[in-house]
Amino acid sequence: MNVFDAIKLRRSIRRYKPKEVEKEKLMRVIEAGRLAPSATNSQPWHFIIVKNPEIKRKLGESYPRDWFINAPVIIVACADPGKAWVRGDGEEYWKVDVAIALQNMILCAIEEGLGTCWIANFNEKIVKDVLGIPQNIRVVAMTPLGYPDEVKEEVRDRKPLEEILHFEHW
Ligand SMILES: Cc1cc2nc3c(=O)[nH]c(=O)nc-3n(C[C@H](O)[C@H](O)[C@H](O)COP(=O)(O)O)c2cc1C
């Protein structure tokens, strides 16, 4: 599968089969994140794989949706802002770095026949408490990972180019 096909096929999946994700597939997805670029190659990321049903149940208190905790795997993408690049004007880039890594994983998952869904609407304090994440670490996003139990069309509902593309100036 080429990258453009994966980009078109990726959709937010909110129903998962109970089927386990094979370890090789899971580790290939994680590897796609590890290979991501980051500002000054700082790689300010940590990823937590959650499969244990009891831990998933507790993690679900941060984002109470059955489809979320019922996915066989949840990947929690974290940043260490203290390790990340900061631009001269103070702008911090840790969220960008971790987002790129997670999107690499999400696209790689498509090739493995796996579904994902970006999750940002969680209670960060609960995630950190449940998973024992150190205070200086931030939780950027999570995604369930598993075999989709719903079929979605390829990506369509996006703004037209005329609305978002500018040539030479705004
Ligand atoms: C940064 C980010 C955060 C998101 N957070 C959530 C979320 O908390 N819960 C959810 O169900 N979907 C979440 N989504 C999924 C979006 O709603 C979805 O990507 C968008 O509606 C487009 O649909 P598609 O992913 O199927 O193409 C998030 C997506 C992104 C990129």
Q: What is the pLDDT of residue 106?
A: 98
10-residue averages of pLDDT along the chain (170 residues): 97 98 98 98 98 98 98 98 98 98 98 98 98 98 98 97 98
- What residue's CA is closest to ligand 1, atom 21? 12
pLDDT for res 113: 98
Strand 138-146 with 115-116, pairing: antiparallel
Q: Which amino acid is at 90?
A: G
Give every CB contact of residue 155 below 8 A, 6+ residues apart in sequence.
Answer: 7, 8, 9, 10, 11
Domain boundaries, the chain: 3-146
117 lines ligand 1 (CB under 6 A): yes
Backbone CA torsion sign across 153, 159, 164, 165: positive
Q: Which CATH number fits domain 3-146: 1.10.10.10, 3.40.50.720, 2.60.120.260, 3.40.109.10?
A: 3.40.109.10
Q: What is the pTM of this model?
A: 0.98
Q: Which of 70, 117, 139 to mutate to test the pocket of ligand 1 (most atoms within 8 A of CB)?
A: 117
The DSSP string of 68-129 is HHHSSEEEEEEE-GGGS-B-TTS-B-HHHHHHHHHHHHHHHHHHTT-EE--B--S-HHHHHH
40: left (phi over 0), alpha (psi -120 to 50) or beta: left
Compute the distance between CA of residue 102 and CA of residue 33 in angstroms, rounded to an integer: 6
Contact status, residue 65 vs residue 121, Cβ threshold 8 Å: no
Residue in the block written with tokens 């026949």: 113
What pLDDT was estimated at residue 37? 98
